[in-house]
Amino acid sequence: MILRRVGRNAGQVSVLNLINRIMKLDENTSTHTHDDCCSAKTDTHSKHNDHSHDHDHDHDHGDHSHGSADAGILKSRWMLWLSLTILAVFLVLTYVLKIELPRTVEIGLMLVAYVLAGNKTVALALRKASRGDFFNEFTLMTIATFGAFYIGEFSEGVAVMIFYEIGELFQDIAVSRSKRSIKALLDIRPDTVTVLRDDKALQVTPDAVRIGEKILVKAGEKVALDGEMLSASGTFNTAALTGEPKPQIIERGEKALAGMIAIDKSVEIEVQALFRDSKLSRILEMVQEASARKAPTQLLISRLARIYTPAVFLLALLIIVIPALFVADYNFDQWLYRGMVFLVIACPCALTISIPLGYFGGIGLASRNGILVKGANFLDVITKIDTVVSDKTGTLTKGVFQVQKIESNIAKTDFIRIAASLESYSTHPVAKAVVASVGDIALNKPTDVEEIAGHGLKGKVDGRDVLAGNSKLLDKHSVTYPAELASLVETLVMVAIDNNYAGYFLIADEIKDDAAQAVGELKSLGISTIMLSGDKEAVVKKVAGELGIAQSYGGLLPEDKVRIVQELKDQGRRIAFVGDGVNDAPVIALADTGIAMGALGSDATIETADIVIQNDQPSRIAAAVRIGKITKSVVYQNISLAMGVKVAVMALGAGGVATLWEAVFADVGVALLAILNAYRIQGRKI
């Protein structure tokens, strides 16, 4: 990927593996997260095999609605519900109705209930133990429940396993829900496309279509590949790409992107990119890569867990053994019970699931709001920024330039033809505006074209030397031009033919509808905005004044933007840079957080950025900051809740005050509260 920061790709999981993980949520969602954090081993391959075979929950993803998917998870756990029923009946008979069952009946019922609830957990613990992996939550739960059985507390041992499995169940549901909006992206890629070949409409797979071929998209169908509209116009639902429900009208010659849905009629599109290179495919890759990048908080918890889990086993052992050295009436069963209580409450379930679930919820919330966050770490970083440095054209302005005025010293038709022929070489919005102004005038192919960054174009048209760009380009080539042009604020494309000034195109851009709102919202969050642009200083100052931006710089080359951002960083400021052009890619890579405008943005900029605004609305920058703050707040709430309760109950358990019942309710209760707290992110309004 162009200009991609190597450091940010460290440890990145392959796209193929990520697709496999997302598509198999029902196989490894629950135990994968726990095992990664609780186990002292790091063999990813063995973990995956263990989870998919030993702890399979067989969720139903046939329907993407919450109800049907959750119902599938609940139905698949029928053995757990039967086990819970047996325990509930036993407790009612014993403690409510005061019926004393024979000991053999009690043991038999509890063993059946235990096998129904915990068979997969015990099997997984034994399999891991056979590989030398003893320090994991499955072994922890197995030892704790076997210990309870050893001292005759059968119902408590069964309760520990049942409520642990219920916690796992709610975890499955929460994770499944939080991932569903992201997984749904995989379903917006069409399986087939109608391609027009030899006057025939053929159904083929999207990856079989070549660049330059024509495809037919019927009303209600999804566009399968990026291309140019051949039909006069069409109305499209673009929500899958931008998060915006408002339909978009696309005219002939404009781009139609994969993932859009034709609304009103059938349209023809000329394919301009292969299936794997479409904007939709890149979006999917970004989302999939995001789940592989952990936030610093997650990484810290993972590292601590490799110390925490064996330490817990050691402390539990010491609780059982050490009192024998100084307690006069030492009773092994009594201290074994306390050790088992300590083990149960020490299980770090709440931390290991609620933290990554919180970050994944934040990524999902951002995705539903048209914001692609490429990793949980970037949700953390964006909460720390104090300055947003923004490009002007295409970022705060629409970047849709139109020629307002043409002045020339030669025949106007010749002037337009020569200038537009050279500008047709460039993809810059200003160049496109010049080309769009030609009407029916035929253009010629330019030769020896050279694009000079921050200046314009140089080349030959009809054998004549042509310059088209700003005043700096003409100054560089010693071309004189009318002095009054320097006082014009608007964008000018000045043209010189054979080193003589020939005229100019006056071009105007428009400020985006929500640009002033974006600056205001950032200010309310304590974040200042600085605008950088290659445009004329006067134009930049005018736009900055209209938007309420106090600090702005114009007439900049790409290296000038890099220099200014580096100077700001040297002052200790935390910088987010927002841009859309290929010349913004270096400075986006330099910033603490790089943000790209995804609809108009260049491929290099989108690939380099940490966050992509899919609908090009600058107000989504503040939304991304708010999402990061919400996510961080929930994660730290969960850490405080889990650690506070666990430390307190572990102390009570070691002192003989808390029983296994308190331990299991505290452990599962805290885990459920943490999961529900993390799941709140999904319903937040931004």
Residue 111, pLDDT score: 92
State the CB neighbour count (10 A cutoff) for residue 58: 11
Residue 662, pLDDT score: 75
Q: Is residue 613 exposed (0-12), middle (13-18) or buried (19+ Cβ within 10 Å)? A: buried
DSSP sequence for 625-641: HHHHHHHHHHHHHHHHH
Pairing of strands 528-532, 387-391: parallel
Residue 21, pLDDT score: 35
Distance between CA atoms of 118 and 123, rounded to whole angstroms? 8
Does 11 or 503 have the greater pLDDT score? 503
CB 585 within 8 A of CB 604: yes
Strand partners, 194: 203, 216
Quick one: CATH architecture of 376-397+513-609? 3-Layer(aba) Sandwich (3.40)
Residue 279, pLDDT score: 60
Among 394, 398, 375, 357, residue whose Cα is nearest residue 594:
375
Distance between CA atoms of 159 and 210, rounded to whole angstroms? 61
Read off the pLDDT band of 602 (50, 70, 90): low
Does residue 584 have an active-site annotation? Answer: no
SS3 sequence of 505-530: EEEECCECCCHHHHHHHHHHCCCEEE
Q: Taking all residues of the chain, what is their mean pLDDT, rounded to a whole number?
A: 77
CB 556 within 8 A of CB 368: no
Interval 384-420: pLDDT, tens:
999 999 988 878 988 767 888 899 999 999 999 999 9
Distance between CA atoms of 467 and 449, rounded to whole angstroms? 10
Percent of the chain with pLDDT over 90: 22
Read off the pLDDT band of 152 (50, 70, 90): confident
Strands, E assignment, 118-219: 193-197, 200-204, 214-217
Interval 572-581: pLDDT, tens:
999 999 987 6
Q: What is the mean pLDDT of residues 52-74?
A: 49
Distance between CA atoms of 165 and 159, rounded to whole angstroms? 10
Q: Topology of 402-508 in CATH?
A: Calcium-transporting ATPase, cytoplasmic domain N (3.40.1110)
Does 235 or 521 have the greater pLDDT score? 521
The domain segmentation of the chain, as residue ranges, is 6-184+288-366+629-683, 376-397+513-609, 402-508
State the CB neighbour count (10 A cutoff) for residue 152: 13
Residue 177, pLDDT score: 59
Distance between CA atoms of 168 and 160, rounded to whole angstroms? 12
Strands, E assignment, 462-602: 464-469, 491-497, 500-508, 528-532, 551-553, 575-579, 593-597
Least confident span in 70-74, 320-324, 517-521: 70-74
Distance between CA atoms of 83 and 113, rounded to whole angstroms? 4
SS3 sequence of 360-417: HHHHHHHHHCCEEECCHHHHHHHCCCCEEEEECCCCCECCCCEEEEEEECCCHHHHHH
State the CB neighbour count (10 A cutoff) for residue 352: 25
Does 606 or 50 have the greater pLDDT score? 606
Residue 313, pLDDT score: 81
Whether residue 84 is predicted with pLDDT greater than 80 in this model: the reply is yes
Pairing of strands 214-217, 227-229: unpaired
Interval 31-42: pLDDT, tens:
333 443 343 333
Whether residue 275 is predicted with pLDDT greater than 90 in this model: the reply is no
Read off the pLDDT band of 302 (50, 70, 90): low
Catalytic-role residue among 35, 54, 226, 391:
391
Residue 603, pLDDT score: 61
Interval 321-337: pLDDT, tens:
899 888 888 888 888 88
Q: Which residues contact 542 (CB under 8 A, 6 or more apart)?
A: 489
Q: What is the mean pLDDT of residues 300-311?
A: 65
Contacts 24+ apart (CB under 8 A), 566-572: 566/590, 568/387, 568/389, 568/530
